[in-house]
Amino acid sequence: MNLQLKSTTFIALESYYGSSQLSTLQQPWGAMNLMQVVGAVSFQHRRLDILDDMDPAIADINKQCWQTDAKSRPTFAEIMAVLKPLLKPIIASAETR
């Protein structure tokens, strides 16, 4: 498997298991299996829709992670720097229950 295919496969996996599932609590891509998702993302350049009610910071991370060039994608540390402030209100809310 060449580097470009590995790179687009990573994007497909992120799309398959990514934030859409977390924000909708549903399986993204409907009835497609993993290999169909890899094909759709890798070869047809398809992406999941950004939901209207998705937090803009999460939507931006999605768009950055979908970049074809791996060097254009954020690092894990960059993603966590964006996510940490978003997690604090969730954790505080859960502790008050």
CATH number at residue 7: 1.10.510.10
Could you give the percent of the chain with pLDDT greater than 90? 0
The number of folded domains in the chain is 1
Give the model confidence (pLDDT) of 29-69 as tens digits.
778 888 888 888 888 888 888 888 888 888 888 888 888 78
| Residue 52 to residue 43: CA distance in whole angstroms | 26
| Residue 97 to residue 89: CA distance in whole angstroms | 13
Burial string for 76-87 (b: 16+ CB within 10 Å, else e) reads: eeeeeeeeeeee
Q: For 41, how many CA atoms within 13 A lie in the half-sphere containing its CB?
A: 30
Q: Which domain holds residue 53?
A: 3-95
Q: Model pTM?
A: 0.60
| Residue 37 to residue 10: CA distance in whole angstroms | 11
Can you tell me which residue has the tokens 């687009």?
Answer: 8
